[in-house]
């Protein structure tokens, strides 16, 4: 694919410990995320389905080689927010995961341990030669991969793992039939975090308030990222009533 930034998947995350030249240039250096989206041209015109399929392939395989899964998840969420031009959310995700950008671009990132992550340009912006699906003769719209099997029975009690944008991890007791909206209110009741200020993400995708836990099919050992847009409530008097 033309315009790909960085190397192949096995080079997407590399440790700085073995590269003193890179380490000397980048460690301790962090720039705010630039707002300008990269411009690039594909080797062949792509449809939206083909682009999404290529992105899915990258996000599904990148964590399997090097780097930390939670950092890849945060980068996926930040890339989605960046392309949607929600730069404040993208920066909040990066800050919450302690990800630094030495050049202010998601094409080259580092976690707090010094591991290097490179995002290809096709995960950050559409190519200039995008093609409408109706113009692609014989092309079939790309289908997202099937989600993993639901780990819960209907109505089963489970413990959900949450990582707050403050850097703290929280375990929340919920039921598989609970909606995201209801779970936000439970988190407010237990932690004093206003439900209206919470934005939940899993594997880089925002979670709809109406979706239930069993519909989302989140495996029990995976982390949900919670981005806060305002400080926690200061008084328990603000907690939502009627949430047990």
Top mean-pLDDT range of 43-52, 64-73, 114-123: 114-123
**Are 106 and 182 found together in one domain?**
no
Of the candidate ranges 112-126, 142-156, 165-179, 191-205, the one whose mean pLDDT is the lowest: 142-156
The two counts, helices (H) then strands (E), for the chain are: 6, 8
pLDDT value for 60: 82
Query: For position 29, which CATH number holds?
Result: 1.20.225.20
State the total domains in the chain.
2
Q: What is the DSSP letter of 86?
A: -
Residue 137 lies in a domain: no
Using 50, 70 and 90 to split pLDDT, how confident is the model at 218? confident
pLDDT in tens, 171-214: 999 988 999 999 999 999 998 889 888 989 887 778 889 999 88
Residue 226 lies in a domain: yes
Residue 243 lies in a domain: no
Closest CA to 80 of 54, 106, 43: 106
Listing DSSP states for 110-173 in one string gives E-TT-EEE---GGGTS--TTB--GGGSTT-----PPPPPPP-S-TT-EEEEEEEETTS-EEEEE
**Are 17 and 122 found together in one domain?**
yes
Residue 4 lies in a domain: no
Question: In whole angstroms, what is the distance from residue 63 CA to residue 73 CA?
Answer: 9
**Are 41 and 109 found together in one domain?**
yes
Question: In whole angstroms, what is the distance from residue 93 CA to residue 145 CA?
Answer: 25
Question: In whole angstroms, what is the distance from residue 102 CA to residue 108 CA?
Answer: 7
Residue 147 lies in a domain: no
Query: Do residues 67 and 73 touch, judged by C-beta distance below 8 A?
Result: no
**Are 114 and 208 found together in one domain?**
no
Report the b/e string of 200-239 with b at 16+ CB within 10 A. bbbbbebbeeeebbbbbebeeeebbbbbbeeeeeeeeeeb
Average pLDDT score, the chain: 77
Query: For position 218, which CATH number holds?
Result: 3.10.20.90
Range of the domain at 193: 157-238
**Are 114 and 196 found together in one domain?**
no
pTM of the full predicted structure?
0.50
Burial class (CB in 10 A: 0-12, 13-18, 19+), 18: exposed
Distance from the Cα of residue 54 to its chain's centroid: 16
* Percent of the chain at pLDDT exceeding 70: 71
Top mean-pLDDT range of 37-41, 74-78, 131-135: 74-78
**Are 29 and 108 found together in one domain?**
yes
pLDDT value for 34: 94
């Amino acid at each position: 694919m033309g315009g790909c930034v960085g190397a192949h998947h096995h080079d997407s995350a590399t440790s700085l410990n073995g590269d003193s030249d890179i380490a000397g240039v980048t460690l301790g250096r962090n720039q705010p995320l630039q707002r300008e989206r990269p411009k690039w041209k594909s080797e062949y015109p792509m449809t939206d389905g083909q682009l999404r399929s290529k992105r899915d392939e990258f996000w599904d395989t990148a964590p399997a080689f090097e780097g930390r899964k939670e950092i890849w998840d945060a980068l996926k969420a930040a890339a989605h927010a960046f392309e949607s031009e929600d730069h404040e959310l993208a920066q909040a995700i990066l800050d919450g995961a302690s990800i630094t950008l030495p050049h202010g671009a998601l094409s080259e990132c580092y976690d707090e341990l010094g591991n290097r992550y490179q995002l290809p340009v096709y995960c950050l912006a559409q190519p200039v030669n995008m093609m409408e699906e109706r113009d692609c003769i014989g092309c079939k719209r790309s289908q997202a991969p099937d989600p993993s099997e639901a780990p819960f029975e209907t109505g089963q009690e489970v413990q959900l793992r949450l990582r707050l944008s403050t850097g703290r991890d929280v375990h929340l007791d919920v039921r598989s039939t609970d909606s995201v909206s209801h779970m936000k209110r439970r988190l407010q009741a237990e932690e004093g975090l206003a439900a209206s200020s919470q934005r939940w993400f899993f594997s880089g995708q925002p979670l709809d308030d109406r979706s239930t836990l069993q519909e989302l099919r989140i495996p029990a050992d995976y982390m949900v990222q919670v981005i806060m847009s305002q400080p926690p409530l200061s008084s328990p008097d603000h907690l939502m009533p009627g949430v047990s």
